[in-house]
Structure 1
């Protein structure tokens, strides 16, 4: 029987996931305010999840929530994340056959930002959340709200998503912007994140929380040096001295995720940025 997935907030990540799932025999419905530009294989559903009114969403087997705030402050995050979660819950309840049942599998894409800054220590899924930014506190509140609304929720926390259309670090290196070379970073290519989400949907009993990063945390200076070599530009200057004594960032242990997903297409930033810049050159 064909499985039906609802992609709530179907932007770049949700669209890529929907296309992958359709290839694997799923039916995918993408929910967003303006779904006009969704690819043909994803059924569009126009709805503002923060204000769904009495609209009923279709009964589905699974939901993946990939929201993007419409601003950078905490108020915008509250409006998008908390408001959309409540609206999604109401619209799913309205569309369920019994008026009570919800999809058995609901996945929320959050962020490792809820863990706080860090000072080079290794963190796992067992590490308590300690958000430092107001927006990260809202994300943690969204995780807690989603767990209340959707029994059996799975939370996936990626860090440093890059890939097609996500080239901010490449752009900074190309411009020669100063970077904190000793800052520890964690990354995952968008296509590998899609694989993580696909796996979570298809596993009989996935963990309730997964970190989603590649196999090699690295200092930002190493990543920038690699990108500069690919671009043929000077390595950006080091701004670390200006933040001396500040946190160095955290090292994310994603061994739990890797145990379920297996080998990634882009296991480190090297393979990922090589492929990304190669595709830019051939475009």
Structure 2
């Protein structure tokens, strides 16, 4: 039987996941306020999840929640993340909560650390918006028992080239800061595996295999662009190293295991 997935907040990651799943025989529906950008193989469901009213969602086997705040301040995050989770729960009451619910959060909830952080690390968010994301994780656990939380870091890929642009422009950056990232297509692979696995982990870091200093990443990109390495501008945070061992055991293979393969694909 064809499985049906609801993609709640179906933006870039949700659309890429929906297209991947549809190629694997799933039926995918995208929930967003404006559905004109959805590809043909994703069934559009126009809905404002922060205010669903009496609109109900169809029965599904799974729901993947990939939300993007309308703005950068705390209230924007609270409205989008907390409001949409409550609205989604309300709109699913008639058809029932799917047996598998996946929330895409962020490693920002962990804060900064001098050591290497696994999924067992206690979150200590420093940014106010990250505190809202952690609150959203807790709310999702209350509303959707058994929810699986995936925390990506530094998503880059097609249309996500801000670091390339900064290097090209020579924007100063903190060379010593430890950074973590994942290519969008590899994040889609992680979510795909989570949906199809019999017993996926309840929490995963979606990051590649090599945490790296920002200066090293910038130097690699600069070499590809044949431009000078941007100047160093020391900051106030050393960043953090995220352990991806659990994800590597769970996901068959990353297409872009480090930033080198990822940026090669974008700059080729």
- Unmatched runs of 5 consecutive residues or more in structure 2: none
* 1:155 aligned residue: 149
Superposed, which structure 2 residues align to 1:86-97 within 5 Å? 86-94=86-94, 96=95
Residue correspondences, number: 268
RMSD: 0.7
Aligned to 1:43: 43
Q: Deviations over 1:206-258 (max 9, x none)?
A: 11100000011100000000000111110000012xx3xx3311100010011
Q: Distance in 2 between matches of 1:232 and 1:69?
A: 35
Provide Cα deviations, 1:48-97, integer angstroms capped at 9, x if missing partner: 00000000000100000000000101100000000000000000113x1x
CA distance in 1, matches of 2:231, 2:261: 24
Return the offset for 1:132: 0.5
Q: Distance in 1 between matches of 2:112 and 2:120?
A: 16
**1:176 aligned to 141, 149, 170, which one?**
170
Distance 2:240 2:185 in 1: 23
SS of residue in 1 equivalent to 2:29: strand
Alignment of 1:11-30 (within 5 A): 11-30=11-30
TM-score (norm 2): 0.99
Aligned to 2:243: 253
Alignment of 1:1-283 (within 5 A): 1-94=1-94, 96=95, 101-119=96-114, 121-240=115-234, 243=235, 246-278=236-268
1:262 deviates by 2.5
Inter-partner Cα distance in structure 2 for 1:266 and 1:70? 29
Matched residues in 2 for 1:157 and 1:263: separation? Answer: 18
TM-score (norm 1): 0.94
**Post-superposition, which runs of at least 4 consecutive aligned residues in structure 1 deviate over 6 A?**
none
CA distance in 2, matches of 1:116, 1:134: 11
